[in-house]
Structure 1
Amino acid sequence: MPARFPFCAVAGADDMALALTLAAIAPDLGGVLVRGEKGTAKSTMVRALADVLPPIEVVSGDRFSSDPRDPSSPDGPFDPDPATEQRPVRLVELPVGATDDRVLGSLHLHTALAEGRAEFEPGLLAKAHRGILYVDEVNLLHDHLVDLLLDAAAMGRATVERDGMSVEYAARFVLVGTMNPEEGELRPQLLDRFGLTVDVAAPRDPGLRAEIVRRRLAFDADPEGFAARYADDEQELRERITTAQKLLPEVELTDAVLTRIAEICAAFDVDGMRADIVTAKAAATHAAWQGRTTIDRDDIAVAARLALPHRRRRNPFDAPGIDEQELEDLLGDDEPDDPQGPDDDTDPGGGGGTPDPGQNDDGPGDDAAAPPPPQSGQGDEQAPAPTSQVRAGEAQRTKTFRVGGVGRGQAGRRSRAITDTGRRIAASPAADGGAVDLGATIRAAIPHQGARGRTTGRLRLAGDDLRVAVKEGRESNLVLLCVDASGSMAARKRMAQVKTAVVSLLLDAYQRRDKVALVTFRGDAGELVLPPTGSVDVAKARLDDVPAGGRTPLAEGLTQAAEVIRRERLRDPRRRPLLVVVTDGRATHGADAIARARRVAQRLAASDVHALVVDCETGRFTLGLARELAGHLGADYVPLGEVTADGLTSAISAHLPEKVA
């Protein structure tokens, strides 16, 4: 097996190292969620964690990695004194596209069909028992799978009730999820289920950055030699984790400690009691990590910083985190425990609890990457009207709108689609893969038994008999808003309402797992100010920076929208787009502006893009240009005298299904 980058060699990630170490000592903490930008060693550090964990003893031949001291396994019963073996801790990676059967386990198909007996085939949770279950890009994992994983991690057991089988097995593992917030957030309810969370960012210190590059180049040049240089540090860390695991049951959670933790959780206004429980467990684990059986102020501080930030998030637009100064004030200077205080001689790693003795203390701090500068747009020099910036108001609840028909896109919560999850509606030949439909497979084989020479005995199957279940669920879509940001919109004070409507749609899209993009047009060009994303945080910040003013380049805006749809279809052909054009239909930039806009609209209609035009034209005398544009687009037309958030979102909800039903 090729050498992995050593855990102790990762520089500039002290908080992540500490969180992973605490979760390894006490798997019942609920795992760790690591949030951070790309290229911050998230995956590298998680994969390296398995190498520093102590080996485990298992029952020989047991597929469920049972502990010999408590050999409760579906493969049992075992002898009173079963044969055992030692093996390294497993790191099991869960693919984003995994199915329920792959995760939980299912009926062993070959045994059932060929031998006529039911046998359970373990899934990934069984393989991860007493090890690490790693989910990269956990925010892209379907919600019901995340629920399943977190329930198993919290209960320590998994139960399978399907195909006439009832199996329960131990599933105690360290659950680690990594994600890039720019690709979309986890729902607050799921975020709360992770025990600890840590945000990571690339360090800003040039010296530390240079050291990170130096170590990576050295590893790439000689992986085995580089790993050997850190072998002693890795062994020291492994022994310290073993010591902490043995010491943890002796750590005392006194009434004073529990009261202090309750005061902190109440002051930060977290929901439910999970925060108090996890913080108490994390404080005890940190004390054991420091070699103590008493919990002091630093233990509580570390636990609160890891267990509370993600539980303060009330809605998708709230930034996660806690006020460090407020935490310090709540902790005060006094120790919560008895006057004996902590034993300073047993703190080999210092107050920060960094598991790497040689780790540089200059980790990522508060100087995280600044938000992107305001988008100034294009063509400002030619714009006859001044530009202005308006911000969106509070997001409002929207009615559900859907793309009609039945798609085959990624599982989500909006439009009807054939997906891997949902209700079974039919069975089909297994050419395209999918979950096997055992009943349909047997029914397909029965008419051919005579031709295959069967008189008695087992059912004779052929490859053509295999059937898979066809399931109908919901898919996510690409909602592309193409918004007029010209001077006429700004002069009539429409942009604030339009932006508020867009934010409302973003919130709805977040809840339904859609991608959303925003194109604006003003001056002499259309501009993609928000590339397709599932992150409402990034979207909200980018939207507030969109200026308004200048001429109306309608053709250029539609052209930019068509290019976005073309690129997204290449990237994900199954995700169906919905184009929402918010305009009064005017086109005032360039020669023959209206005719050019018509031609672009006709090309979009020919490419089978579902569209809706919201007419923002007001006044007693109207030109009807937006209605004409809707005809060229083959889109629904919604007259809207005053663009308000309620009006816009209700119009989209009410009219879109009529077109594509």
Structure 2
Amino acid sequence: MSTPYPFAAIVGMDSLRLALLLNAVSPSVGGVLVRGEKGTAKTTTVRALATLLPEVGTHTDCRFACDPAAPDATCPDGPHEDGTRFVRPARMVELPVGASEDRLVGSLDIERALSDGVKAFEPGLLAAAHRGVLYVDEVNLLGDHLVDSLLDAAATGAAHIEREGVSVRHASRFLLVGTMNPEEGELRPQLLDRFGLTVEVAASRETDERVEVVRRRLAFDEDPAAFAAKWAAEEDALRERIAAARALLPSVRLGDGALRRIAAVCAGFEVDGMRADIVTARTATALAAWAGRTDVVTDDVRQAALLALPHRRRRNPFDAPGLDEDKLDEILRQFEEEDEENQGEDGDPQGPDDDGPGGPDGPGDGGPGDGVPPQETTQEATDAGSDTGSAADLPPQREQPAADSPSAQEGSAPGAAPEAAPVAAAEPFRTRKFDVPGLGEGAAGRRSRARTAHGRTTGARRPRGTLTRLHLAATLQAAAPHQRARGRAGRGLVVRRDDLREAVREGREGNLVLFVVDASGSMAARKRMSAVKGAVLSLLLDAYQRRDKIGMITFRGSGADVALPPTSSVDAGAARLEKLPTGGRTPLADGLLRAREVLRVERLRDPSRRPLLVVVTDGRATGGPEPLVRASRAAGLLAAEGTASVVVDCEAGPVRLGLAAELGQSLRAPVVTLDELRADTVTALVRTVRTTTATTRGAA
């Protein structure tokens, strides 16, 4: 087994280390979500924590790590004999992004259950992580059904598996830690709320700190055992402090004053629901125990709010998590003043005292690390294999000249790309829903019809591999005609493996929505870009809600640019859109041809994810010989390949040329105006995007 990097040797990232330590002290805090750029040692830090957790006692014959001190009457391997106990280190279990649901919750052998009458259960990762750490790298890329099962287990402390009336339950309590790179996509707000704490990490910009990171990492890579031995004393001190804080935790008093502060802070930041109040209270209690105190003070509440609230106050998917510290201090200051006024009347023990921020036992003694010696304050030891990014190759934005520059108008000199300053997007709105026709088999989502592991049952077929989704009626129907030949004598049905049928289910998939946006001078000159950006922003929001990947191509001046390569980070698309300049000619054909190339590459990377092309333009084309003919030919190539498309017509004014409608004919795609794009208009009935080619590659 490889030697893990010592937790005490990590440089920087005090908030992350504190959040992990608080969860080690009080697992009821609810875990940690770590957000940060690639190469910031998120994975290294989490792996290092597992070595600090207290050892656990269990039974040698138990696959579910039952606690001998608190027997689980529902354990599938129970009851256990007292003489089979042993002690082992706490485990850290990693959940791969591509894991199946059976791998996570465990699998029940349906074939043996039906044919042999044996209930054979193979435990999953939730069982392995019981009383340890469950680590999910790139949690934002995890399938929704896996995230739901994972967080349900984290909330209830138990895992359930149901297969056609056969049920298994076992305890599953663990420290949940997820890491993510926001550039690769966001978690849904309701899933963000299920993580107790969140921490933002970034590489230090201090030269001395970066030097120390590299020095320690090189020393560790050269001789891991010697490096770990050097930090053994600090690691032992942290283990002892965690154990002491755990023992002290039941004695910590959360008085009415602290509870009122917590409630006021949560109300002041307008967080939804009551989970924020509960998590903040548990975190403040853990902070007091970590500091060796039995009373929660104001600074505990402040530090707990900074860890528990930032991800709970997002108002839309494009808001970055964060907390206004000045506002937080103002809310707490109001209580300080009230305490001073009432000091002589009720003697509120939760007011400022010697154990406050400046006191000898306050959490502020050692900075955010709260009492951890400076030499242990930590690392970004670059774990290159653990944190990967997807937006490093994004093209830089062009510099922007003055907004009223005359060169920003349509008809500039060839080869130049004059532009107007970016304009703000109009208010987003709920858009119509567009589907890709046919039946796909892509990643689970909420846009187009697809065969999925979850959804309504539409039929049955012979199993392809291990049977996990039994179609009971079809199985019985297949076995019924053979009962006499098989010598059935009793009431039971004789079922053979050849009789088994699995359910075919239909749900929804996420697609690749590729936007091709006209950013030429014709859009700027007619003051339409604000409305166009508002429409694209609305479509981006719709793509976020339907679990799509998105990409963006803009065309203007002398060519087309990939403003955003296909990614799951819809908020990155919103950011690119906000900075999008306009001006120059209208190379429509170049935009369509670039889209065709991007889609070709994406088909090689992910053949099962079907694309939807959204062209946002007024249909004009300038630059080069016969620009409209070239655009029509480029559109014909996309149509011939079966690309499902929709054209958003941005043309405005009393005189309309109808060029976007002609483009729609070439693409074999529906055309909607900006007004018709709204879901709340009379004409905005939900329609499926239709192509007249063979109903796409994913059709059944």
| TM-score, normalised with respect to structure 2 | 0.85
Q: 1:523 aligns with which of 557, 577, 586?
A: 557
CA distance in 1, matches of 2:687, 2:499: 44
- Asked if structure 2 preserves the Cα contact closer than 8 Å seen for 1:290 and 1:353, the reply is no
Query: Which residue type is aligned with residue 218 of structure 2?
Result: L
1:587 is matched with: 621
Per-residue deviation, 1:194: 1.2
CA distance in 2, matches of 1:209, 1:649: 56
Query: Which residue type is aligned with residue 278 of structure 1?
Result: V
Secondary structure of the structure 2 residue equivalent to 1:352: helix
- Asked if structure 1 preserves the Cα contact closer than 8 Å seen for 2:432 and 2:679, the reply is no
Per-residue deviation, 1:472: 1.1
Query: Which residue type is aligned with residue 109 of structure 2?
Result: H
Q: Show CA shifts across 1:560-598 (max 9, x none).
A: 111221122122111111112222332211123223222
CA distance in 1, matches of 2:605, 2:178: 25
Per-residue deviation, 1:142: 2.8
- Asked if structure 1 preserves the Cα contact closer than 8 Å seen for 2:30 and 2:176, the reply is yes
2:61 is matched with: 61
Tell me: CA distance 1:459–1:214, structure 2 relative to 1, closer, same or farther (3 Å): farther
- Asked if structure 2 preserves the Cα contact closer than 8 Å seen for 1:401 and 1:652, the reply is no
Which sections of structure 1, spanning at least 5 residues, go unmatched? none
Tell me: CA distance 1:346–1:435, structure 2 relative to 1, closer, same or farther (3 Å): same
Q: 2:689 aligns with which of 649, 657, 661?
A: 657
Tell me: CA distance 1:326–1:117, structure 2 relative to 1, closer, same or farther (3 Å): same
Per-residue deviation, 1:429: 3.7
Q: How does 1:338-353 map onto structure 2 within 5 Å?
A: 341-342=354-355, 344=360, 350-353=366-369
2:662 is matched with: 628
Secondary structure of the structure 1 residue equivalent to 2:503: strand
1:423 is matched with: 456
CA distance in 2, matches of 1:433, 1:161: 16
Tell me: CA distance 1:359–1:271, structure 2 relative to 1, closer, same or farther (3 Å): farther
Tell me: CA distance 1:171–1:404, structure 2 relative to 1, closer, same or farther (3 Å): same
1:158 is matched with: 159
Per-residue deviation, 1:14: 1.4
Worse overlay, 188-197 or 209-218: 209-218
Worse overlay, 609-618 or 179-188: 609-618
Worse overlay, 214-223 or 299-308: 214-223
Per-residue deviation, 1:308: 0.9
Tell me: CA distance 1:204–1:591, structure 2 relative to 1, closer, same or farther (3 Å): same
- Asked if structure 2 preserves the Cα contact closer than 8 Å seen for 1:497 and 1:644, the reply is no
Query: Which residue type is aligned with residue 689 of structure 2?
Result: P
- Asked if structure 2 preserves the Cα contact closer than 8 Å seen for 1:160 and 1:167, the reply is yes
- Asked if structure 2 preserves the Cα contact closer than 8 Å seen for 1:5 and 1:219, the reply is yes
CA distance in 2, matches of 1:652, 1:659: 19
CA distance in 2, matches of 1:648, 1:567: 36
Tell me: CA distance 1:496–1:45, structure 2 relative to 1, closer, same or farther (3 Å): same
Per-residue deviation, 1:624: 4.1
Tell me: CA distance 1:363–1:93, structure 2 relative to 1, closer, same or farther (3 Å): closer
Per-residue deviation, 1:312: 1.1
- Asked if structure 1 preserves the Cα contact closer than 8 Å seen for 2:514 and 2:611, the reply is yes
2:108 is matched with: 107
Indicate whether 1:410 and 2:410 are aligned: no
Indicate whether 1:563 and 2:576 are aligned: no
2:345 is matched with: none
Query: Which residue type is aligned with residue 532 of structure 2?
Result: V
CA distance in 2, matches of 1:303, 1:242: 21
- Asked if structure 2 preserves the Cα contact closer than 8 Å seen for 1:501 and 1:649, the reply is no
Q: 1:539 aligns with which of 563, 573, 584?
A: 573
CA distance in 1, matches of 2:363, 2:583: 62
Q: How does 1:188-587 map onto structure 2 within 5 Å?
A: 188-332=189-333, 337=350, 341-342=354-355, 344=360, 350-354=366-370, 356-359=372-375, 374-376=397-399, 382-383=415-416, 387-431=420-464, 435-437=468-470, 439=472, 467-587=501-621
CA distance in 2, matches of 1:623, 1:270: 49
2:387 is matched with: none
Per-residue deviation, 1:250: 0.6
Tell me: CA distance 1:532–1:375, structure 2 relative to 1, closer, same or farther (3 Å): farther
Secondary structure of the structure 2 residue equivalent to 1:493: coil
- Asked if structure 2 preserves the Cα contact closer than 8 Å seen for 1:383 and 1:549, the reply is no
How many residues are paired up? 654
CA distance in 2, matches of 1:449, 1:219: 67
Secondary structure of the structure 2 residue equivalent to 1:531: strand
Tell me: CA distance 1:212–1:614, structure 2 relative to 1, closer, same or farther (3 Å): same
Indicate whether 1:646 and 2:662 are aligned: no
1:21 is matched with: 21
Worse overlay, 337-346 or 320-329: 337-346
Per-residue deviation, 1:120: 3.5
State the percentage of identical aligned residues.
Answer: 56
Worse overlay, 570-579 or 150-159: 150-159
Tell me: CA distance 1:236–1:354, structure 2 relative to 1, closer, same or farther (3 Å): same
CA distance in 1, matches of 2:505, 2:496: 24
| TM-score, normalised with respect to structure 1 | 0.89
Per-residue deviation, 1:74: 2.1
- Asked if structure 2 preserves the Cα contact closer than 8 Å seen for 1:375 and 1:545, the reply is no
Q: Show CA shifts across 1:23-61 (max 9, x none).
A: 121111111111111111111211222111111011231
Per-residue deviation, 1:329: 2.8
Per-residue deviation, 1:253: 0.7
Per-residue deviation, 1:22: 0.8
Q: Show CA shifts across 1:192-216 (max 9, x none).
A: 1211111111111122122222222
CA distance in 2, matches of 1:85, 1:62: 11
Q: Show CA shifts across 1:77-121 (max 9, x none).
A: 536745311011111222333344333334234653674222433
